[in-house]
Amino acid sequence: MAPVQVPDPRPLPGEPPALDLLNTQWLASGTPVDLLATPDGTRTWLAAADVAGMSGHGTRQALIAARQAIRDVLTDHGRTAARDRLNAVLSHGRLRLSLGPGMTPTQTLEVDDPAWQPAVTAAANLLDLLDRAPDRIRRCQHPACVLWFFDTTRSGTRRWCSMATCGNRAKAHRHYARATKPR
């Protein structure tokens, strides 16, 4: 019997893998939610990340370690301990360079243990984002939001994880403050 596919409950799916992994923790009506807290939630994230079939306790623990390491690097601005935690995750993988058919250079991410594949992939993606555009990695500016996003706007001025949620809450708050301000 095939496992039942659970819909992805996350409020901001589709970010680059490193930020997508960070966003497996969020607040729902002020209550913390951790998608990786259960095997079913982990399978849901793995399916959304297109790495299904690798679920298991080892994979879940590796993802939790990678998520914390990524968060530490982004919030501690690369201090030594945060870098060491991310490097510990990355130490499970290596980049294999080769020349493929038609003289096409290829890079393959290999891991020492298949359970670490999704975690190493997410950590390696963080390195790519930091190399490409570190200033475009952002945390939502709404004070009650813990989500992260990669700003792909042309102007690079995105402030909210979603205009439909956090952006609207901020606009409503500003409107209320103006409307109730004594004249």
The CATH number of the domain holding residue 114 is 1.10.3300.10
Residue 29 lies in a domain: yes
Domain count, the chain: 1
Q: Does residue 153 belong to any structural domain of this protein?
A: no
Q: What is the C-alpha to C-alpha distance for residues 28 and 174, in angstroms, rounded to an integer?
A: 22
Whole-angstrom Cα distance, residue 114 to residue 64? 15
- Whether residue 104 is contained in a domain is answered as yes
- Average pLDDT over the chain reads 88
Predicted confidence (pLDDT) per residue in 72-103, tens digit:
999 987 689 999 999 999 999 999 999 999 99
Cβ atoms of 124 and 107 closer than 8 Å: no
Is residue 10 domain-resident? no
pLDDT band, residue 7 (cuts 50/70/90) = confident
What is the model's pTM?
0.85
Q: What is the mean pLDDT of residues 132-138?
A: 96
Rounded to the nearest 10 degrees, the angle between the axes of helix 57-75 and helix 80-90 is 150
> Which is higher by pLDDT, 18 or 174?
18
Residue 57 lies in a domain: yes
Q: Is 14 exposed, middle or buried (0-12, 13-18, 19+ CB in 10 A)?
A: exposed
C-alpha to C-alpha distance for 143 and 119, rounded to whole angstroms: 28
pLDDT at 68 over 90: yes
Position 71 in a domain: yes
- Within a domain: 166: no
Which of 74, 94, 77, 93 lies closest to 21 in space, CA to CA?
A: 74
Please count the residues of the chain: 183
Q: Is 143 within the bounds of a domain?
A: no
* Residue 62 structural domain: 17-134
